[in-house]
Structure 1
Amino acid sequence: MLIGTILRNKGSNVTTVPPEASVRELLAKLAEDNIGAVVVSTDGATITGIVSERDVVRRLHDRGAAILDRPVSEIMTSEVRTAGPSDNVEELRKTMTTQRFRHMPVVEDGRLVGIVSIGDVVKSAIEELETEKASLVDYLHR
């Protein structure tokens, strides 16, 4: 299965925040959209960084509550690994598992076109297994 297939099923909407948004604003966006990470972008198409709930928790622990009023750019990951729509989901699963990523932006022709979570990847694996099982059951009943 390709990453583009996941995006077709879940949609390509990506929540972004500008680098100058406060961590407090980021938390409001995470809660409002019920998500675990956002892409940091000045224009919604290019990637400046990515920031997750985990980043916030770690910085709160390191720096205290004052971090809530600091810009997202201070806590984001700026070296962002990305995937393309034509990349294989199985390879993405391996990368996300070994590198401990929970969210991977999807980029095509240098533009942000979606984001895939580890939950999306697991869901696609389950769907593939269910399809395979149905095919085997059908084959056995012939």
Structure 2
Amino acid sequence: MPASYQPPMRKDEEKNRTHSQSAETNLKTETLTVRQVLDHKGHEMFSITPDETLRRAVEILRDKRIGALLVCDTEGALVGILSERDIVRKLADMPGQTLPQKVGDVMTSKVQTCEPSETLMQVLKTMNAGRFRHMPVMEGGALAGMITIGDVVNYRLVELEHEALQLKQLIVG
């Protein structure tokens, strides 16, 4: 043991002790909310009406480089969601006859939504249980955004990179 090492003594002050984990760091992921993700990524949403064709929906999905569209009525109320998976299923059922179909005939009408105050863990559990990757966010009965599994994963990765940088700076000084 080096001569400069002094083992901790009972009289040492508690405030000098450090902990690699704390309740705050362990619970941080549990308390991240949908609002934080939306504030970071933005509240932009893309929608289509139920009477438009799948051809138009596919064009929007391609042009916007997204995986799902909100389906809203003429007043802007959410009536469904149309995902790439919905379209692929229809393609398998009706090859060569899919694109002229109406969005309203193919969309998922029982839409699972969340609120901005919900935690990311709650949302991920719901998405995993329902086997879907896109979830509309509702606030006060109105659409507030769309959250995806990719958004959640990306947000967490950025956060982990930041934590790693902080640890590196702590070690290096």
* Fold conserved between structures, TM > 0.5: yes
Greater alpha carbon shift after TM alignment, 94-103 vs 11-20: 94-103
Asked if 1:89 is matched to 2:129, the reply is no
Aligned mate of 2:134, from 103, 115, 118 = 103
Secondary structure in 1 matching 2:138: strand
Counting helix residues as a fraction of each chain, which structure ranks higher? 1
Which range is displaced more, 11-20 or 36-45? 36-45
One-letter amino acid of the counterpart of residue 121, structure 1: V
Are positions 1:33 and 2:72 aligned together? no
Q: CA deviation at 1:77?
A: 0.3
**Correspondence for 1:119:** 150
Which of the two has higher C-alpha Rg? 2
Q: Which moved more, 1:69-78 or 1:132-141?
A: 132-141
Q: Mind listing any 5+ residue stretches in structure 1 that lack a counterpart? A: none
The alignment partner of 1:69 has SS state of: coil
| Pairs aligned (count) | 142
TM-score (norm 2): 0.76
For the 8 Å contact 1:44–1:112, the answer to whether it is kept is no
Percent of residue pairs bearing the same amino acid type: 37
Q: CA distance change for structure 1 residues 78 and 128 in 2, over 3 Å: closer, same or farther?
A: same
Q: In the TM superposition, what whole-angstrom CA distance separates every residue of 1:18-73 from its partner, at most 9, and x where no partner exists?
A: 00001111111111111110000014742100011111111110122222111101
Higher RCO (C-alpha 8 Å, min separation 6)? 1
User: Do the aligned residues in 2 keep the contact of 1:16 with 1:44 (CA within 8 Å)?
Assistant: no
Q: TM-score, normalised to structure 1's length?
A: 0.91
Match for 2:100 among 53, 69, 81?
Answer: 69
For residues 102-121 of structure 1, what are the alpha-carbon distances to aligned partners after superposition, in whole Å with 9 as ceiling and x for unaligned? 11100101111100111101
**Partner secondary structure for residue 99 of structure 2:** helix
| Structure 1 match to 2:29 | none
Note the residue ranges of structure 2 that are not aligned, 5 or more in a row.
1-31
